[in-house]
Chain A
Amino acid sequence: MAMAEATSIHAPEKVEKSKGYWSGVGHRLVRDPLTMFCLAVIAALILSAVFAPYLGLADPYKGSMIARLKPIGAPGYPLGTDEQGRDMLARLIYGGRLTLFIGLMPVVIAFFAGSILGITAGYVGGLTNTIIMRTVDVFFAFPSVLLAIAISGALGAGIVNSLVSLTIVFIPPITRVAEAVTSGVRKLDYIDAARASGASAWTVIRVHVIGNVLSPIFVYATSLTSVCMILAAGLSFLGIGVRPPEPEWGLMLNTLRSVIYVNPWLSALPGVMIFVTSLCLNLLSDGLRSAMNVRD
């Protein structure tokens, strides 16, 4: 071969092995300081929520009539106390457990359900696509907040019902994105080439479709987590999510609302937590999007 001759003229160069896709993504992520910072904040929030009982915090349920509405920085109460005299720091950290759980779980479940529906619709096409996508379209007729409130209201208050209603809210948009990406990939020649090798539809999807559609769907789902957290907090705020006395950021925002003229900084704290978490999740999803772009 002419090519082989051309390369053998040079001294045998060291063969550099191509790096895998995910190690490349990791490499690009590490060199993005903003994304790494956001990742650290999210990780700190999740870890502190998970290990809250071991942090030596005050009891988040124990109130005190004499220690009500202590300001931020009061001795013994680094972030003050709420309207029932409960330690705010403990309640904010314990509150992260429920808030993050209700904020992330629906998106995780909707990511799997939506991906399965969307990839099926996009790959099979035809009547299957019409049935799945038109059904999904029905949910787009309602604004997501309204839909979450309607389903939660119908099912009744409670953590499980909030999870169910939020999952239902997020399946349609993820299905939409999955279907759009899959039907784009479906038209490419490498899918034809794979089908031409005699592979079954499932093998083609497993080897050739999933790897190429999952990262855009994943990035989109990450951007939904912040919306989901805000919706979950909103449900609790309206009283159809988590019930008192459970610490939860949305619920805390609601109960502290009444003291906004007495101690405004205190009542802003749960809002700050929601804001920081959702901002970090959004920035993280932007960083992931650019890190997952192979050709840069």
Chain B
Amino acid sequence: MSVTDTYQPLPDTGGPAQPLIRVSGLQKYFPVRGGILGRTQAKVQAVDGVSFEVKKGETLGIVGESGCGKSTTAKLLIGLVEKDKGEIVFDGHALGERLSLKDLRRGVQMVFQDSYATLNPRLTILDSVAFGAKVQGLDNPEDLARKMMDRVGLDPDRFAHRYPHELSGGQRQRVNIARALAMSPRLVVLDEAVSALDKSVEAQVLNLLNDLREEFGLTYVFISHDLNVVRYISDRILVMYLGEVVEVAPVESIWHEQAHPYTRSLFSAMPSMDPDNRTKEPPLAGDPPNPINPPSGCRFHTRCRFASAVCREAVPKLSGLARNGDHMVACHLHDAESGHPKAGQGVPE
């Protein structure tokens, strides 16, 4: 019996056209406490009104600079951070209505960045991998764990009774992948899952992730700061800035044309192997503004070369480009009625 036969995912509801997960208006503000009484002094607007959907079998890459809310979004998806507002709908069932947190965690699993910190140093690899399957009440959790270890390239006879500190970083990240998959999830959130690995090991793990997606019919949300890695594994890319979505587009479309000025700066900061292909875009100046008190209107206007009066006042809506509706962007430059002096012309060169 192969490992595919022992995979026990939740049944599909709603058919292939229904997105596997849909979030709308997701919001999380972290209180900043201070003073003698520990009152809330301010709120960090980590994630503010994020909406997107992930289709069945697709990989959505999420990119953005540090502190833009990528990881908070990931933790919101699996309920590790409680949302303030918004809706999470997993395969047609809304969290908190027809879907309990435990069931959500049966369908959604997560792989974290730090492969060592995510493994309990006192548990053997087998115990760690089998823990979730046991909690979720799957059949033969240990057997399932051994098969899943074998599938991710770790010989169960060699590694089952070892401890995390006896393994290398790449091996540990394979353990983490096996642990997530042992619960037979349908959606796997990979939060910087390959960022801490060597380039060669990173490539192996990426290939493994691609194989696993095919074999088990998985859907990924892949968070990374490495655009090349995101391009390799993703079908669509979502760009975040200061807790908001600024652009969502299919990979080739966004690689061809970055519709948001921020996305363009992000891509131009990527080093190129071709000496003739030099960056023409001036680099972004300064740090991102403080998320405790984000700028009014478009949050990017403080660092945008094309900002005008309307950008300081009105919040741009996320909407499809005129010639390609799948390519969504939140920028006044693309909205003909926005009142921006160069409205409707797209981002100038």
A162-206 Cβ-contact flags toward B at 8 Å (1 or 0) = 000000000000000000000000001110111111110001000
Give the distance in Å from the alpha carbon of A208 to the alpha carbon of B183 in the complex. 18
Kindly report which residue of chain B lies nearest to residue A24, judged by CB atoms.
B163
Q: B29 in the interface, Cβ–Cβ < 8 Å?
A: no
Q: Do A197 and B136 form a contact, CB below 8 Å, given A21-B122, A212-B122? A: yes
Q: B14 in the interface, Cβ–Cβ < 8 Å?
A: no
Which of A3, A15, A188 interacts with B153 by CB under 8 Å? A3
Measured between beta carbons, the chain B residues less than 8 angstroms from A194 are: 120, 131-132
Give the distance in Å from the alpha carbon of A294 to the alpha carbon of B163 in the complex. 11
Q: B47 in the interface, Cβ–Cβ < 8 Å?
A: no
Q: Which residues of A266-296 are within 8 A (CB) of B?
A: 294-295
Binds A, one of B110-118, B292-300, B330-338, B339-347: B110-118
The number of inter-chain residue pairs (CB within 8 angstroms) is 82
B132 contacts A198, CB within 8 Å?
yes
Q: Which residues of A3-17 are within 8 A (CB) of B?
A: 3-4, 7, 15, 17
Q: Which residues of B72-127 are within 8 A (CB) of A?
A: 75, 78-80, 101-103, 105-106, 109-110, 112, 114, 117-124
Which of A2, A198, A211 interacts with B122 by CB under 8 Å? A211
Q: A138 in the interface, Cβ–Cβ < 8 Å?
A: no
Which of A3, A17, A189, A197 interacts with B132 by CB under 8 Å? A197
B166-200 Cβ-contact flags toward A at 8 Å (1 or 0) = 10001100001001000100000000000000000
Residues of A within 8 A of B (CB-CB), count: 27
Binds A, one of B154-162, B225-233, B274-282, B321-329: B154-162
Q: Nearest Cβ distance between residue B200 and chain A, in whole angstroms?
A: 9
Q: Nearest Cβ distance between residue A258 and chain B, in whole angstroms?
A: 55
B284-310 Cβ-contact flags toward A at 8 Å (1 or 0) = 000000000000000000000000000
Measured between beta carbons, the chain B residues less than 8 angstroms from A15 are: 157-158
Q: B204 in the interface, Cβ–Cβ < 8 Å?
A: yes
Q: Which residues of B142-161 are within 8 A (CB) of A?
A: 153, 155, 157-158, 161
Q: A1 in the interface, Cβ–Cβ < 8 Å?
A: yes
Q: B135 in the interface, Cβ–Cβ < 8 Å?
A: yes
Measured between beta carbons, the chain A residues less than 8 angstroms from B124 are: 18
A188 contacts B135, CB within 8 Å?
no
Kindly report which residue of chain B lies nearest to residue A3, judged by CB atoms.
B153
Q: A40 in the interface, Cβ–Cβ < 8 Å?
A: no
Measured between beta carbons, the chain B residues less than 8 angstroms from A34 are: none
A188 contacts B155, CB within 8 Å?
no
B40-84 Cβ-contact flags toward A at 8 Å (1 or 0) = 000000000000000000000000000000000001001110000
B120 contacts A18, CB within 8 Å?
no
A198 contacts B161, CB within 8 Å?
no
Q: A207 in the interface, Cβ–Cβ < 8 Å?
A: yes
Give the distance in Å from the alpha carbon of A183 to the alpha carbon of B167 in the complex. 27
Give the distance in Å from the alpha carbon of A233 to the alpha carbon of B183 in the complex. 57
A196 contacts B110, CB within 8 Å?
yes
A197 contacts B135, CB within 8 Å?
yes
Which of A17, A188, A195 interacts with B80 by CB under 8 Å? A195
Measured between beta carbons, the chain A residues less than 8 angstroms from B157 are: 15
Q: Nearest Cβ distance between residue A129 and chain B, in whole angstroms?
A: 12
Q: Nearest Cβ distance between residue B122 and chain A, in whole angstroms?
A: 4
Give the distance in Å from the alpha carbon of A226 to the alpha carbon of B124 in the complex. 35
Give the distance in Å from the alpha carbon of A3 to the alpha carbon of B120 in the complex. 24
Measured between beta carbons, the chain B residues less than 8 angstroms from A197 are: 105, 109, 131-132, 135-136, 183
Give the distance in Å from the alpha carbon of A212 to the alpha carbon of B121 in the complex. 8
Q: Nearest Cβ distance between residue A5 and chain B, in whole angstroms?
A: 10
A207 contacts B106, CB within 8 Å?
no
A198 contacts B106, CB within 8 Å?
yes
A198 contacts B135, CB within 8 Å?
yes
Q: Do A18 and B162 form a contact, CB below 8 Å, given A3-B153, A196-B105, A207-B131? A: yes
Give the distance in Å from the alpha carbon of A199 to the alpha carbon of B132 in the complex. 7
Kindly report which residue of chain B lies nearest to residue A13, judged by CB atoms.
B158
Q: Do A189 and B135 form a contact, CB below 8 Å, given A211-B120, A212-B120, A212-B121? A: no
Instruction: Show 24 A/B contacts (Cβ-Cβ < 8 Å), sorted by A.
Output: A3-B171, A3-B204, A7-B155, A15-B158, A18-B124, A18-B161, A188-B117, A189-B114, A192-B118, A193-B110, A193-B112, A193-B176, A194-B120, A194-B132, A196-B78, A196-B80, A196-B110, A197-B105, A198-B103, A198-B105, A198-B106, A198-B132, A198-B135, A211-B123
* For the complex of A and B, 10 pairs with smallest distance between CB atoms: A197-B132, A198-B105, A1-B153, A189-B117, A189-B118, A211-B122, A198-B102, A199-B135, A190-B120, A193-B118
With A196-B80, A196-B109, A207-B131 already in contact, 13 other A-B pairs whose C-beta atoms are closer than 8 Å: A7-B155, A18-B163, A189-B117, A192-B75, A192-B118, A193-B110, A193-B119, A195-B80, A197-B132, A198-B102, A198-B135, A208-B120, A212-B120
* B residues lining the A interface (CB < 8 Å): 75, 78-80, 101-103, 105-106, 109-110, 112, 114, 117-124, 131-132, 135-136, 153, 155, 157-158, 161-163, 165-166, 170-171, 176, 179, 183, 204
